[in-house]
Amino acid sequence: MSEEVLPEKTPPSSELMGRRKFLTRLSIALGSIGAAIVSIPSIAFLLGLRKTPQIWQTVGKVEDFKIGDTVSVSFQDPSSLPWAGVTSQTAAWLRRTGEQQFIAFSISCTHLGCPVRWLAEADLFMCPCHGGVFYANGTVASGPPPRPLSQYPARVHQGQVQILASPVPIT
């Protein structure tokens, strides 16, 4: 590679210097603006957080559930995209506590989010990751979880049990 050097016999006039200064600033400004108008919509799309609506999702008929039993149910996320496949499901632990009363617990442990399991014989929720244990009412029994299990609002609507599909609880 050979270095080409501009011939500069006479020192540039102040007019030329001013012109060069202007052209430098113009070029940098155009480059920056060009980069910005491409980047801003791209970043805005990336950061465009979709706020999901909260929807009541049916998980079964009232008579499908026995009073006192805690069972896992699944329902569709409120913001499901057609290509989400099985990941559009959310599981919950549902317990019928009375004729028309239901409680729905999130399956995510409040420690780091692993899925807790219901030990029916022991009336406890246990997390397989770090051994967090919750009592049947969701309060912490032992281990690392800082908070009781999150609950989803649950209701009975026209004979159907419904859960209010809500965001993954971040504790």
Partner 1 sequence: MQILKRAWNWLDDLTGLSALIGPVMRHPVPKAGKSAWFYVLGSATLFAFLIQVVTGIALATGYVPSSGEAYSTLVFISGTDFGRIVRGIHSFGASAMVILIGLHAIRVYLMASYKYPRQVNWLTGVVLLVLTLLMAFTGQLLRWDQTGYWSVIIAAEQAGRLPFIGKWLAHFILAGDTIGGATLSRFFAAHVFFIPAFIFAVVAFHLYLVLHNGISEPPKTSEPVDPRTYRAQYHSLLARNGEPFWPDAAWRDMVFGFLVILTVVGLAIVIGPPALGNPPDPTIIDASPRPEWYFLWYYAILSIIPKWSEDWVIILGPVLFGILLLILPFIANKGQRSPSRRPWSIIITVFILFMIAYYGAVGHIAPWSPRMDAPPLPEKVVGVTSGPIADGAKVFHDKGCEYCHKMSGYGGLRGPDLSYAGDNLNAAQITTRIFSGAKNMPSYNGNMTPKELQDLLAFLESRHRHPVFEPSLGVK
Cβ proximity to partner 1, 19 vs 130, nearer residue: 130
Residue 42 within binding range of partner 1, rule CB under 8 A: no
Q: CB count, 10 Å around CB of 147?
A: 14
Residue 135 within binding range of partner 1, rule CB under 8 A: yes
Bridging pattern class, strands 151-152 and 124-126? unpaired
> For the window 99-118, what string marks contact with partner 1 as x by the rule CB under 8 A?
--------xx--xxxxx-x-
Cβ contacts of residue 107 below 8 Å, gap of 6+?
A: 72, 91, 92, 93, 115, 116
Instruction: For residue 102, report the phi and psi dihedrals to the nearest 5 degrees.
Output: -135, 150
Candidates 10-18, 56-64, 82-90, 155-163 — which segment interacts with partner 1 by CB under 8 A?
82-90
Cβ proximity to partner 1, 103 vs 136, nearer residue: 136
For partner 1, which residue of 39, 84, 97, 101 counts as binding (CB under 8 A)?
A: 84
Cβ proximity to partner 1, 102 vs 134, nearer residue: 134
Q: How far apart (Å, rounded) are the C-alpha atoms in residues 58 and 29?
A: 56
The number of CA neighbours under 13 Å toward the Cβ of 149 is 32
Residue 146 within binding range of partner 1, rule CB under 8 A: yes
For partner 1, which residue of 124, 147, 153, 155 counts as binding (CB under 8 A)?
A: 124
The number of CA neighbours under 13 Å toward the Cβ of 41 is 4
Sheet with 151-152, edge to edge strand ranges: 70-76, 89-96, 102-106, 151-152
Cβ proximity to partner 1, 89 vs 100, nearer residue: 89
Residue 56 within binding range of partner 1, rule CB under 8 A: no
Q: How far apart (Å, rounded) are the C-alpha atoms in residues 72 and 95?
A: 9
Residue 98 within binding range of partner 1, rule CB under 8 A: no
Binding residues (CB under 8 A) for partner 1: these are 1, 47, 49-52, 72, 74, 77-91, 107-108, 111-115, 117, 119, 121-124, 126-131, 133, 135, 141-144, 146, 166-168, 170-171
